[in-house]
Structures are given as C-alpha cells and as structure tokens.
Amino acid sequence: MAKKVTTKKTQEQEEPQAILRPDVDQAVEKRLVALYTLQSVDSEIDKIRIIRGELPQAVQDLEDEIAGLQTRIENFSNEINETEAANRQRTAEISEHEEQIKKFQKQQDNVRNNREFESLNKEIEFQNLEIQLCERKMRDGTAHIRDLKEHIEAARLLMENRQKDLVSKQEELTSITAETEKDEERLLSKSGEQEKYIDDRYLTAYKRIRGAARNGLAVVQIDRDACGGCFSRIPPQRQMEIKMHKKVIVCENCGRILVDDDIAAKAKAQLEK
C-alpha cells in the first residue's frame, strides 16, 4: 500500500512539470543552438589568437624598423660618396687656382707700370682666397664624412640588435603558430560547418554584433538575471520568453543574442559529438 502512494506521489510531481513546460519552436531552437555553438567555436579561435598576442605585429614592426635602418645607412653612404666627390672637385679647383697664381706671378715680371702690377696682385689675392674657401669647404666636408660614418656605425649596431630581436620573435611566433595551427584549422572548419545551419540574415547579424563587440561575444547566456555580455538586468518576463525558444531575442541594451542554460547545454553536447 505504501508503494502505491509513493508511485502516485511521484507521478503527481512529474505531471505538473510536463504541464508547465511550454511548447518550443523546434526551428528557432535549432537556430539558437547553432548560433551559440558558432559563438563557442569562434571564442575558442579568439583565445588561440590571443595566445599569439601581439607577436605578428611586433615582427612586422621590427621588419619595418630594420628596413628603415637599411635605408638610412644607404642614404648616409650616398651622402658620403657625394661629399667625397665634392672634395675631389675642390682639390682639382685648388690646383687650377694655384696654376692661375703661377701664371699671374710670371706676368708680374713683365709689367710696365705699378697699375698693372697691382691689378695682377689683386688677381693673385683673389685666387688665394678661392683656395682658402675650397680648403675650408674640404675640412667641413671631411668632418661631415666623419660624422656620417659614426651615424652609419650606430645604425648598423642598432640594426644588428634589431635583427637578433626579429629572429627571436620569429622563432617564438613560429613555435606558437605550430602549436595552435592544427587546433585553429579544426575550429575554423567547425565554424564553417555551423554557419551552414544559420540563415543568412541571422548570420549577418551575428557577424555584425560580434565585430562591434570588444570581446567578440555576439551570443551570450543569461547570468544571474543579467546579460552575459553587458551585464544589464533582464526582466523576469523577458527571461521567460527566452526560455520558451519561440523567437530570437536580443539584449535591449547591447543588442547581443540571448540564450538560456538549456540552449548552452545543447550547444555543448553538439560540440562534443
């Protein structure tokens, strides 16, 4: 007799649960499961890319800096060549001025009056001034070449250090990429598979929301009566509508798609298959 009472009580406990459980739209439920599954997969891909951190950008920055240093060294080298060529030209000009001085000095031996002598003397003074000017420019050029060589040496030393850093970063990036590449390829394949089960308009909305969200979350669970994305409170009536799986419901504050624990559990089961 006691056994019958227990059975009847069990049935009475189960029957109200079946009555209170609302009918769900299977198509909507499948869509929500697919969306949350896609979000779970994409979040795992995000984690892998976060593990890589800023290494790809760091490698690119080092490559750009090395290229810039190489260009700087080439420019300095070209400037040295131009300055050396200018110094050679001035050496030739000095020789020409010296020849002119010798010529004017010879002419002084044959002058007929002081006026011609003074005129030639002024020409000799002018040629000497030109020689002094060339010599000063050559000294400046030589000092400039010395400075440029120091700049080249400093740039080469910096470039060698940056090249060592680049090799280190590239090895680190290669190692991390090798470790995560297979996982990322597998997850990308899963992501593509899930997209096939989602209507274009919902997929477009998902990608738009995900792209705008800082954490990449477009589909979130209700957590402690709040949106799992922006943590805004979800009213009880709204939560009930979400649990009914009759339509896709978004957070009124952040626009993320909201799902309940039941959808999350089914998505997890989907991923474990």
Global model pTM greater than 0.75 = no
246, 26 Cβ separation under 8 angstroms? no
Write out residues in the chain with pLDDT < 50, as ranges: 1-21
Query: 172 has which bridge partners?
Result: none
pLDDT for position 23: 57
Same domain assignment for residues 66 and 160: yes
116 and 29, same structural domain?
no
Residues 159 and 63 in one domain: yes
What's the pLDDT score for residue 170? 92
Burial class (CB in 10 A: 0-12, 13-18, 19+), 234: buried
Domain that includes residue 140, residue range: 55-181
Q: How many domains does the chain have?
A: 2
Residue with the two structure tokens 């060294």 = 73
Residue 135 shares a structural domain with residue 226: no
Distance CA 179, CA 175 (A): 6
Q: Are residues 160 and 214 in the same domain?
A: no
What's the number of CA atoms in the CB half-sphere (13 Å) around residue 238? Answer: 17
In-domain check, residue 1: no
Q: CA 151, CA 217: separation in Å to the nearest integer?
A: 50
Residue 104 lies in a domain: yes
**Can you give the pLDDT at residue 24?**
60
Is there a domain that residue 194 lies in? no
Angle at 261 between CA 255 and CA 267, to 5 degrees: 85
For 202-250, the DSSP string reads HHHHHHHHHHHSTT--SEEEEETTEETTT-PBPPHHHHHHHHHTSS-EE
Are residue 40 and residue 157 in the same domain, yes or no?
A: no
Contact (CB, 8 A) for 197 and 41:
no
Strand 226-227 versus strand 249-250 pairing type = unpaired
Beta-carbon count within 10 A of 166 CB: 18
| Residue where a domain terminates, one of 117, 152, 181 | 181
pLDDT at 109: 87
Q: Could you say which of 181, 209, 232 is where a domain stops?
A: 181
The CA distance from 213 to 101, in Å, is 83
Whether residue 45 is contained in a domain is answered as yes
Alpha-carbon span 147 to 144, nearest angstrom: 5
- pLDDT 10s digits, 22-50: 556 788 888 899 899 988 888 888 888 88
195-220 pLDDT tens trace: 877 888 888 998 999 888 888 999 99
Indicate if 70 and 175 belong to the same structural domain: yes
SS3 call for 258:
strand
Cβ neighbors of 210 (< 8 A, separation 6 or more) are: 39, 42, 216, 217, 218
In which order are the strands placed within the sheet that holds 226-227?
Answer: 226-227, 219-223, 257-259, 249-250
Residue 190 lies in a domain: no
Question: What is the token pair recorded at 72?
Answer: 């700087």
Q: Would you say residue 226 lies in a domain? A: yes
Q: The tokens of 197 are what?
A: 């089960």
For residue 66, what pLDDT is reported?
97
**pLDDT for the residue numbered 2:** 42
Residue 136 lies in a domain: yes
Helix and strand totals (H; E) in the chain: 7, 4
The CATH number that applies at residue 158 is 1.10.287.620
Residues 130 and 227 in one domain: no
